[in-house]
Structure 1
Amino acid sequence: MRKKEEAAPEKKRRGRSARDQGLSRERVVEAALALIDAKGYANFSLRDVARELGVYPTAIYWYVTSRDELLVEVITRALGDLIPGPLPAGRWRDWLKELFHRYRRAVARHPNVAPLLGSQIISNASMNPVMVEAVLRTLLSAGFKSAELIHVYNTVITAMVGFVTLEFAGHGADERDEWEDRLRVRFEELDRDEFPLLTANMTRMSNQAFIVRWKGGTNRALEQSFDRYIDVVLDGLQRQLAGDADARKQ
């Protein structure tokens, strides 16, 4: 009887061991991000995180309820604070350009999260409502009307996320070298008569153009193309503003 009474406290102590070791939601998220940085997310699991932290998998559930919830926290941590400083009067283009560059720099630091950014539920849940509010405020200050705000906002978010996702999203580490070699050979062996423009520009486009590349953004960044892309988007928005202003004068 006495042995049973002594065993109960020991069992209870083991149940609290994860917390006693200093485990926290922050440590769980940091460990998960480090694992994804190192190995990608395709085969990522809560069990991997537990193993990395030296605890039982059940300990992780003190802090996150599922893999998806943890991935949301990982993206939030990876992106960090994206919001530029206060908006200078009349400088909405500069503010948006800085937002785009902050986003790209954040993903460049953690490129293995890029595929997750295309997952609507996870990327939506990880987006800071403070950032959404700041983007809406910037667009209204630029002169866009409430009736068209949703369309302009969607343009801005697509511009911010779309290019960067394509630039940095890669595939898993398994068989990477073999896959890249096969893709490179495929392009190098294209028939010049059938694809005269592509083959003539292959030297310029190889690993510098979407579709015609076998290295991700971590190996061959596309910063100049990104800058051109941003200018095209912002020029288009500015022309819409000017057109709306002219229409109101008539």
Structure 2
Amino acid sequence: MSEKPKTSRRDLLLGLGAIGVVGGGWQAWIHRPRAMTFEPIEGLPGWRQTVFEGLSAPRGGLSAAAAFAGIGNVTSTPTILPPARLCQTLFQDAQDGKAPVAAFSDFFCPYCRTLTERLAARAADPASNLALTWHELPLLGPSSVIAARAAIAADMQGLYPEFQAALTGSQFRPTTRHIADIAEEVGARAGQLLVDMDGPVVASRLARSRNAARTLGIYGTPALVVGRTLVIGEITDRNLDKLIEMERGTAPTC
């Protein structure tokens, strides 16, 4: 009767190592940098879009138009903006020599959190190559709307970055007490912020962002507009830098 060959410790380690190399190579292939491909945006000559993975959208596969129903107290159908007005709405904080970037986000979007932190850090850097305008697009329910209203109200006191960081870094509870606590934490006047949340300025800003998103066909978050290019989904820093350089090499649409 023949004896079965014994598996040595060395052979076992070599086998596991080979599996690790193959597995690591597979993961590297999955997460490899992928070339950006662009499609024109219907009805907006000169504008284009690219789509990445990592997107939060309302449940049920809502269309872009239906997704915006009920944001804040706005119940009317979103307005389709002409190109010139779209540019003015998107890029409120444009600066000479910097790429204009508009960021659409929802505080309850899991994919938005890391992208928001990365964009905020870049925008705070004086040497940054982008001029960033934030747009609240609360598509994920009533709590999203409340958080968006609170953030815009904080911006009215010049404390948007601080309030945004506090919301992003915590588990938000849509209660008056919690909002007041965050406001006080960042140095805002809590009572005024709570009043402003239901005021006309906040409603107007939500409506403007909603109209811009509807015009571009944005149906989920995160979404960025870099110059003339709409990016739907989570973009890496590498691809963002590449896109900024690409936009600098083309004639501006806005």
TM-score range, shorter chain: under 0.3
- The structure with more strand, counted as a fraction of residues: 2
Structure-1-length-normalised TM-score: 0.28
Larger-gyration structure (1/2): 1
Q: RCO higher in 1 or 2 (8 Å CA, sep ≥ 6)?
A: 2
| TM-score after normalising by structure 2 | 0.28
Q: Going by fraction, where is helix more abundant, 1 or 2?
A: 1
